[in-house]
Every structure is written in structure tokens, then in C-alpha cells.
Amino acid sequence: MILVTGATGGLGHQTIDFLLTTTPAAKIAALVRDVNKATDLVKQGVDVRQADYIDYSALVKAFQGVEKVLLVSAVAFTDRVRQHRNVIDAAVQAGVKHLFYTSIQRSTDFVMPEVTESDLATEAYLKASGLVYTILKNGYYFEGLGYLIGSEVPDSEIRFPAGEGKIAFVKRTELAATTASLLTSEGHENQEYILSGSAAYSFHDIAREFSALAGRPIAYKSIDEAHYIAQKVAAGFPEVVANFLAQWGAAAKEGMLAGTSDTVERLLGRQPTSLREYLQTTYFSGR
């Protein structure tokens, strides 16, 4: 039995969708906080189990009879380490053999507060737990680009604090397909994989692609973090969110998200979505 946590969220649900294409529903379990959000999974025959990452005894119960767990990391700005430790401890107690954890890619030593700090603590805890582990160092989602630079085609300029830094963006559905493939194949014991796109793009590259698609010049200007935060706050974002978005700029600038690996491409059996394809579909379809 494979259990996927975060099954009512994007990555968890999409991973189950891919698992269902190769694995009988009776061998798939979904961990959810709210069963009312998982009626579609119940209808498909997936074994839906309820527990919050903070509810240790519910987790132990939910993990009964499970061989592999995909722990979809908890959201930022919560006590991620406490939640992840609970899940790991409960997995040990319930007799789970192998736990996969969704970390964020870190191609340099840059430590991003709220994200990398808790990933590092979780990975260390998992490695010391006695469970067989697989660490998935997920690239930055293409779907997150809009949060950084806006969801409309820029008029003439992208203003973001990433300097010359690059990001090896990856579509979340392609991460889910890759994750499902890793969960259902052998040879991933105590391994770590970077699950990134096959190419990394700077914000100059993004501006160039926007220019080609829009048929007008669009430039990239690297601005300092304080200006970016002020710009986002003026656009209505809470300051804490604006700060968080600026941190992704700093992470990109420091190369944290720039490394590429062919694991996603290899397991998909095709090139992952390119920047041009993503921008075309997301910003220009229907225009």
C-alpha cells in the first residue's frame, strides 16, 4: 500500500492521479485533513484516511498497513519541522518501511528561511529515523512564476530582485508524474533526487520569451529587495507575503534553484515543459 499525504492539495492529488494509471486503487491510500474535500478520491476507490500532521495518534492509525509514504511537505509559515517529525515518528511506529519527502531544490548552500531551514531539519531527522528514505528536491513550480512577476503579460518591464540568477522551473503535474513513477519503481532506497526542469532560465530569458510572444520589447530589470517589497505591498500584497516572494528572488540570485537534472525528463520519457511553452499556454492562450 502506498499512502500519499496532502492528497487534497495540488501535488498530492496529481500524484495519486498518476498512480491510478498504473496501480489498483485498492493499493493507494490518501491522507487528508478534511474527508469532505476527498469525495472524488473515495469514488475512485482510493482508501481515504483522515489525520492532521499535528495529530500523532491519528497519523499512527492512518499509516497501518502502509509500506511507502509520500510526505508532502507542510506549508511555509507553519511549524513545519514539528509536523514533519510527527509524520516520521508515526510512520516508524506504524511499521512503514519507506518514506519519500518533498524538499525544495538547493543547488547552492543558500538557506532560505521558512523553507530550506525546515527542509534541512526534516531531512536530518528522516535520515536518523531508521526508515528507508528518498528525498525529492523539487524545483520551483512554473505555476509559481505568476506570484513572483504577476499573472498578466508585463507592459514593458519585469521588475524582480533575482539579479542574473536562474531557475530550473518545473510544472507541478510533471513533478507529480515523476513522483508517481519513483513511488512505483525499485532502486530509490536512501537516494536524493533533484526534480527540476531540464533547463534553467534567467529573468532576462523570461523577458526575451515574453517579448517574442507579445511581439513588443519587454525588458528585465533587477531591482533591490526593498523596492520589490514596496511594489508588491502597493499592489495589495500583505507585507509578509511580499517579503516571502522577495526571498525567492534572493534564492534565485544565489543560484539555489538553478541546478538541472535529467531525472524528470528521463522518467517522463520526454522533454519537460519549456519556458516558451509554459508562457504561451498560461499568458497567451485565447489572445
Ligand X SMILES: NC(=O)c1ccc[n+]([C@@H]2O[C@H](COP(=O)([O-])OP(=O)(O)OC[C@H]3O[C@@H](n4cnc5c(N)ncnc54)[C@H](OP(=O)(O)O)[C@@H]3O)[C@@H](O)[C@H]2O)c1
**What is the binding site for ligand X (CB under 6 A)?**
5-6, 8-12, 33-34, 37, 52-54, 72-75, 83, 102, 104, 138, 140-141, 144, 172
Q: Which is nearer to ligand X, 8 or 202 (CB)?
A: 8
Task: State in angstroms the smallest separation of the CB of 276 from ligand X.
Answer: 20
Cα–Cα dist 4/19, whole Å:
10
Task: State in angstroms the smallest separation of the CB of 36 from ligand X.
Answer: 10
Task: State in angstroms the smallest separation of the CB of 20 from ligand X.
Answer: 17
Task: State in angstroms the smallest separation of the CB of 235 from ligand X.
Answer: 20
Q: Which is nearer to ligand X, 34 or 109 (CB)?
A: 34
Q: Which is nearer to ligand X, 61 or 219 (CB)?
A: 61
Stated as kind and residue range, the H or E segment containing 18 is: helix 10-19
Q: Which is nearer to ligand X, 82 or 97 (CB)?
A: 82
Interstrand relation of 166-167 and 201-202 (parallel, antiparallel or unpaired):
antiparallel
Q: Which is nearer to ligand X, 135 or 218 (CB)?
A: 135
Which residues neighbour 36 within 8 Å (Cβ) at sequence distance 6 or greater? none
State which residue has the least CB distance to ligand X: 9
Task: State in angstroms the smallest separation of the CB of 75 from ligand X.
Answer: 5
Stated as kind and residue range, the H or E segment containing 94 is: helix 80-94
Q: Is 149 helix (H, G, I), strand (E, B) or coil?
A: helix
C-alpha cell at position 134: 528518498
Q: Which residues of 23-50 are buried (b: 16+ CB within 10 A; e: fewer)?
A: bebeebbbbbbeeeebeebeeeebbbbe
| Helix 172-183 and helix 10-19, axial crossing angle in degrees, nearest 10 | 50
Task: State in angstroms the smallest separation of the CB of 4 from ligand X.
Answer: 10
Q: Which is nearer to ligand X, 105 or 222 (CB)?
A: 105
First and final C-alpha spacing in the chain: 45
Which residues neighbour 62 within 8 Å (Cβ) at sequence distance 6 or greater? 3, 29, 31, 49, 50, 51, 90
Task: State in angstroms the smallest separation of the CB of 33 from ligand X.
Answer: 4
Q: Which is nearer to ligand X, 101 or 283 (CB)?
A: 101
Q: Which is nearer to ligand X, 83 or 218 (CB)?
A: 83
| Helix 116-127 and helix 80-94, axial crossing angle in degrees, nearest 10 | 20
Task: State in angstroms the smallest separation of the CB of 129 from ligand X.
Answer: 19
- Count Cβ atoms below 10 Å from residue 196 Cβ, excluding itself: 28
Rg of the chain (C-alpha set)? 20
